[in-house]
Amino acid sequence: MAAFVYRFPIADLPHSHVYLTQNEFDALVSFVSFVYNPGKGWPGVRAAINSGDKRKAVRIIEEQVRSKGKIMNGLVKRRHNEAMLLQEGRY
């Protein structure tokens, strides 16, 4: 079975594109769509993905679990699920 691959511009710079599998695309869309404060995590995730460092992107995603300085249990679970979807394709 062939994986679907998307050409998805995730950088602000022209001509900067990476190829993503369906699960990678889904994980990043989930993260971006529900980031309460996109200034905190998305720039680092975007840079890590563009540089090919998916493990670093996973670490950054899993760190985004605070609201007003407090760790939110729901965000811990959500971010872990997004990270596993990105890294392992686990839906």
CATH match for 5-88 among 1.10.10.10, 1.10.530.40, 3.40.470.10, 1.10.3720.10? 1.10.530.40
Rounded Cα–Cα distance for residues 42 and 90 (Å): 21
Amino acid at position 26, single letter: D
Q: Return the domain boundaries, the chain.
A: 5-88
Assess whether pLDDT exceeds 90 at residue 87: yes
Where does the pLDDT of residue 8 fall: very low under 50, low under 70, confident under 90, or very high at 90 and above? Answer: low
Instruction: State pTM to two decimals.
Output: 0.78
Pick from 55, 58, 47, 50: which is nearest to 82 by CA?
Answer: 58
Kindly report, residue by residue over 22-80, the tens digit of the pLDDT: 899 889 888 887 765 555 788 888 889 989 999 999 999 999 998 888 999 999 999 99
Q: In terms of Cα–Cα distance, which of 40, 39, 48 is closest to 83?
A: 48
